[in-house]
Amino acid sequence: MNIFSIDGGLYRFLEKFTNFFLLNLLWFIMCLPIITIFPATAALYGVVRQWVQKKDTGVFKPFFSFFKENFLQSFVLGIVWFLFALMFYFNFMITLQMSGAVRVVMVSALSFICLFFLMTSVFLFPVMVHYNTRFFILIKNSFFISISQLWVTVLCGIIFLLTAFISYFIPITTIIVWSIGFYLIYALCHRSFNRIEALMQLSQETQEAS
């Protein structure tokens, strides 16, 4: 068997490596204006969703298609999420200046709310590209799914932190590691979506049968 043939293992590996590299490069370039980070990330998730679903698609055309399709919603979401993060930061800074029991209570409360904020963030883009729903429903669904699929949320968080860790300590991996990390995160989220949809269908069939 010729490993360099179209059906060869090396060829398939190089094809996947190239696709991940190009997707990572596109995402990085489109994130450079800063204000386009959220639309670019939504586009990246749109592409990896097709890969997870085994759809034979390229990189450039679907990326820019998803970038355009999700631009407005993801751009507004980015502004809202940035304002929330800024609010948490300033509140923490103010709270740390307090003392006694008030400080403990306030820090605990803010940490608790911030935890739910981070959990919801894990599912934002996967829900956006999978369900294509309205803004507030997107946030609500991301929140409830992150709680109902807690272990998936934790695993996705670990993958994100590992990706950031590898990228920071081995800078050369930045050219490809983020697209792979986001692919793994979406693959886990996609399984959660399938489980939830299967349970909803089973519940509906049970209700109809009764």
Q: What is the torsion angle, in degrees rounded to the nearest 10, for the CA atoms of residue 163, residue 186, residue 9 and residue 164? A: -10
Cα–Cα distance, 37 to 45 (Å, whole number): 12
Looking at the chain, the whole-number percentage of residues with pLDDT higher than 70 is 94
Measured CA to CA in angstroms, residue 147 lies from 123, 152, 199 at distances of 10, 9, 16
DSSP at 173: G
Three-state SS at 41: helix
Amino acid letter, residue 40: A
Q: Which of 183, 175, 195 is nearest to 156 (CA)?
A: 183
The pLDDT, as a whole number, for residue 158 is: 96
Do residues 15 and 22 make contact, with C-beta atoms less than 8 angstroms apart?
Answer: no
Measured CA to CA in angstroms, residue 113 lies from 14, 51, 103, 122, 144 at distances of 44, 34, 15, 15, 14
What are 68-82's pLDDT values in tens digits? 999 999 999 999 999
What are 154-188's pLDDT values in tens digits? 999 999 999 999 999 999 999 999 999 999 999 99
The pLDDT, as a whole number, for residue 133 is: 87
Do residues 74 and 128 make contact, with C-beta atoms less than 8 angstroms apart?
Answer: yes
Question: What are the structural domain ranges in the chain?
Answer: 9-194
Q: At 30, list the tokens.
A: 């489109």
* pTM, to two decimals: 0.90
Cα–Cα distance, 173 to 166 (Å, whole number): 7
Is the predicted pLDDT of residue 39 greater than 60, yes or no?
A: yes
Is the predicted pLDDT of residue 24 greater than 70, yes or no?
A: yes
Cα–Cα distance, 160 to 176 (Å, whole number): 14
Lowest mean pLDDT among 4-8, 36-40, 77-81: 4-8
What are 79-136's pLDDT values in tens digits? 999 999 999 899 888 888 887 788 888 888 899 999 999 999 999 999 999 998 899 9
Do residues 95 and 157 make contact, with C-beta atoms less than 8 angstroms apart?
Answer: no
Cα–Cα distance, 191 to 149 (Å, whole number): 10
Do residues 25 and 112 make contact, with C-beta atoms less than 8 angstroms apart?
Answer: no
On the CB side of 164, CA atoms within 13 Å amount to 6
Q: Which of 97, 127, 108 is nearest to 192 (CA)?
A: 127
